[in-house]
Amino acid sequence: MNFIELATQRSSVRNFAPMPVEKEKLLQVLEAARIAPSAANFQPWHFIVVTEPVLLQLIYPLYPREWLKSAPLIIVALGDHSRGWHRGKDDKDFTQVDLAIAIDHLTLAATELGLGTCWICNFDVEKLQNIFNIPDTLEPIALIPIGYPDLKVQPVKIRKSLEQIVHWNDFEV
């Protein structure tokens, strides 16, 4: 697969087959996140790989969707705001941007390996912090369930057209 094919192939998977993910593949997916670029190369991220059923049971209520339970594991992506780069002029914190890039690397690498993922941001952050005793400077940015997709139908990509989003030498909306 070339890059455009890979990026097109990736789509949110919300139903997983009851198959474990090989450790080797999981490490490759994490490696893809590790090598992502970040502002000033500060790499303000941590990834909690949750495979223990007892812990998974604690996470499910934080994003109560039946499909989540089909994933064999969930990665919790944490942004460390105390380590992220802040722009001098306005103190803008780029931690979220860095995390988004790392997570995108991760999901694309997973796709290449035949695995499915889904970004989840609509979860109870505070409760998640309590489960893992995460300090306040670290923000759980996303839950990323990973597993082999169990897709009945091939997802369709719904996207704005290039004309709607690209502006050649000027900006008008």
CA 68, CA 60: separation in Å to the nearest integer?
Answer: 7
Q: How far is the CB of 169 from ligand FMN (least distance, A)?
A: 29
CA 9, CA 155: separation in Å to the nearest integer?
Answer: 9
Residue 64 exposure: Cα atoms within 13 Å on the Cβ side: 2
Each residue 42-61 as x (binds ligand FMN by CB under 6 A) or -, in order, gives: --------------------
CA 155, CA 13: separation in Å to the nearest integer?
Answer: 9
Residues 114-133 within binding reach of ligand FMN (CB under 6 A) = 118-122
Q: How far is the CB of 131 from ligand FMN (least distance, A)?
A: 18
Residues 150-169 within binding reach of ligand FMN (CB under 6 A) = 155, 157
Q: Check: CB of residue 170 under 8 Å from CB of residue 38.
A: no
Nearer to ligand FMN, 26 or 62 (CB): 62
Residues in touch with ligand FMN (CB under 6 A): 11-12, 118-122, 155, 157
